[in-house]
Amino acid sequence: MQTALVILAAGMGSRMKSSKPKVLHEVAGLPLVGHAMRSGAALSPARTVVVTGHGAEAVEAVVAGLDPSAVCVRQTEQLGTGHAVDQARDALDGFEGQVIVLYGDTPFISPETLARMSDSDADVTVLGFETADPEKYGRLVVEGDALMRIVEAKDASPDELEIRLCNSGVISADCATLFNLLSNVGNDNASGEYYLTDVVGLATSKGMSAKVVTCLEEETMGINSRVQLAEAEAVFQRNARVTAMTNGVTLAEPASVYFSHDTAIAADAWVGPNVVFGPGVTVDAGAEIRAFCHLEGCHVGPDAQIGPFARLRPGADLAAKARIGNFVEIKNATIAEGAKVNHLSYVGDASVGEAANIGAGTITCNYDGVMKHRTEIGARSFVGSNTLLVAPVKMGDESMTASGTVVTKDVPDGALAIGRVEAQNKPGFARKLMQILRAKKMKRDS
């Protein structure tokens, strides 16, 4: 059976105290709404509908970037979760199959949980969880295996408030059934809202079946404040560290390593303390990322060594056994197998050939103030310390530069480029100069 997702993302999130819509705040570098879309994507949905409201334009732009096939519909007034889902009615016109409703501010519903929801044979299925602190949640009223109705905390009787089985907000039902039921949802309740949760009672009163699928409370964690955002980040990072280690990655000090939602690290990679992975990083087997490195949008080949204190920016692509040392920045550059950039260098918009050695303090001058230009460094070449490569420029294979050279023209294969002022020695001058300077200081201080 086909599945369609409806993701509710219209809420304002006033407790975030932000000019940015709540669902665009990020956990592990991915907006909250993206986490919900990612969970749902595990069901290979035939359609994804995101209901936007507050900050609709910004949310719609992000959703389109994440999944161009997703459809956004606007809920101009937030009249309740039932009203929000109803906005997806037209977008799901003609769809036959199951609809699963997710919240855009609830990032951790697992694909396994959604698969269990989707396997349910009931007419309406609700994702529930047990909690010690059910305060504000809707309560699930069950009789045996059957879910009878959901009562919101505000509308609940003292007896109902004792129930610890709560509504996560995730609901699934056959599409036609869901929208038929929604047509009958009213707003005669303590909040004056159209409650999505009312579809359960309406279904059972019509003789349809409703069931609860349960999950851990942690999965249903919703984000309403910056404090909860930080808690969610912590949960994500804790899980990502465990996953990495379970997959065979050594983390020397797990608590200090930060992953992105999409970090991919192969088994037998080694990661030292205080390493931060931004979005879009892949690391191959046997690579070693030493302490205090920052990586984003880059690839680290097998058995490569990075750091300590290295920065790999987007487009850095390191082949096998490449070495990037301390205080080196690599941006939009390929570093071929066995090449070394070991100390204090900037290599940007460049290619560095196989087994080339880039000396300390080398800079590719890639930017002329208006445009970026490329530098090519040939295989097995040797770049002397403190070389400036003024791009566009090319060094041939097995070429060299003398230390301190400013390279402004291409260097042929096998050639040495040298461009610097020749040093001269002045015998005895150093001692004489010191005497003069000390005498001056004495005079000044007396």
Q: Is 83 in the site for ligand UD1 (CB under 6 A)?
A: yes
Q: Which stretch binds ligand UD1 (CB under 6 A): 193-201, 207-215, 375-383, 434-442?
A: 193-201
Please count the residues of this chain forming the interface with ligand UD1, following the rule CB under 6 A. 27
CB of 101 to ligand UD1, least distance (A): 9
Pick the binder of ligand UD1 from 95, 108, 137, 179 (CB under 6 A): 137
Q: Give 179 or 258: the residue with its C-beta nearer to ligand UD1.
A: 179
Q: Is 104 in the site for ligand UD1 (CB under 6 A)?
A: yes
Q: Give 36 or 324: the residue with its C-beta nearer to ligand UD1.
A: 36
Q: Give 150 or 318: the residue with its C-beta nearer to ligand UD1.
A: 150
Pick the binder of ligand UD1 from 8, 56, 99, 147 (CB under 6 A): 8
CB of 216 to ligand UD1, least distance (A): 15
Pick the binder of ligand UD1 from 80, 201, 272, 359 (CB under 6 A): 80
Long-range contacts of 134-139 (CB under 8 A, 24+ apart): 134/161, 134/163, 134/164, 134/166, 137/166, 137/167, 138/166, 138/167, 138/197, 139/163, 139/165, 139/166, 139/167
- Rule CB under 6 A: which of 221-260 touch ligand UD1? 222
- Rule CB under 6 A: which of 163-182 touch ligand UD1? 166-169
Q: Angle at Cα 419 formed by Cα 414 and Cα 421, nearest 5°?
A: 145
CB of 272 to ligand UD1, least distance (A): 39
Q: Give 107 or 138: the residue with its C-beta nearer to ligand UD1.
A: 138
Q: Give 36 or 295: the residue with its C-beta nearer to ligand UD1.
A: 36
Pick the binder of ligand UD1 from 30, 56, 73, 84 (CB under 6 A): 84
User: What's the CA gap between 233 and 238, in Å, rounded?
Assistant: 9
Q: Which stretch binds ligand UD1 (CB under 6 A): 66-74, 190-198, 227-235, 415-423?
A: 190-198
Q: Which stretch binds ligand UD1 (CB under 6 A): 5-13, 238-246, 266-274, 341-349?
A: 5-13
Q: What are phi and psi of 147, to 5 degrees?
A: -90, 125
Q: Give 102 or 339: the residue with its C-beta nearer to ligand UD1.
A: 102
Pick the binder of ligand UD1 from 48, 75, 366, 381 (CB under 6 A): 75
Q: Is 272 in the site for ligand UD1 (CB under 6 A)?
A: no
Q: Mask: binding to ligand UD1, 37-56, rule CB under 6 A, as x and -?
A: --------------x-x---
Pick the binder of ligand UD1 from 95, 129, 179, 195 (CB under 6 A): 195
Beta pairing, strands 165-174 & 98-103 = antiparallel
Q: Which stretch binds ligand UD1 (CB under 6 A): 98-106, 111-119, 360-368, 378-386?
A: 98-106
At residue 86, what is the residue type?
Answer: D
Q: Which stretch binds ligand UD1 (CB under 6 A): 77-85, 251-259, 381-389, 428-436?
A: 77-85
User: How far are the Cα atoms of 3, 48, 126, 172, 261 from residue 115, in angstroms, in the given order?
Assistant: 11, 16, 13, 11, 21
Q: Give 104 or 361: the residue with its C-beta nearer to ligand UD1.
A: 104
Annotated catalytic residues are: 343
Q: Give 66 or 402: the residue with its C-beta nearer to ligand UD1.
A: 66
Establish whether the linkage from the previous residue to 45 is cis, with ω within 30° of 0.
no
Pick the binder of ligand UD1 from 26, 86, 105, 376 (CB under 6 A): 105
Q: Is 10 in the site for ligand UD1 (CB under 6 A)?
A: yes
CB of 61 to ligand UD1, least distance (A): 18
Reading the block at residue 327, the tokens are 């205080």
Q: Is 197 in the site for ligand UD1 (CB under 6 A)?
A: yes
Closest-CA residue to 140 (of 130, 131, 151, 132): 151
CB of 164 to ligand UD1, least distance (A): 12
User: What's the CA gap between 134 and 142, in Å, rounded?
Assistant: 16
* Site residues, ligand UD1 (CB under 6 A): 8, 10-11, 51, 53, 75, 78-81, 83-84, 103-105, 137-138, 150, 152, 166-169, 195-197, 222
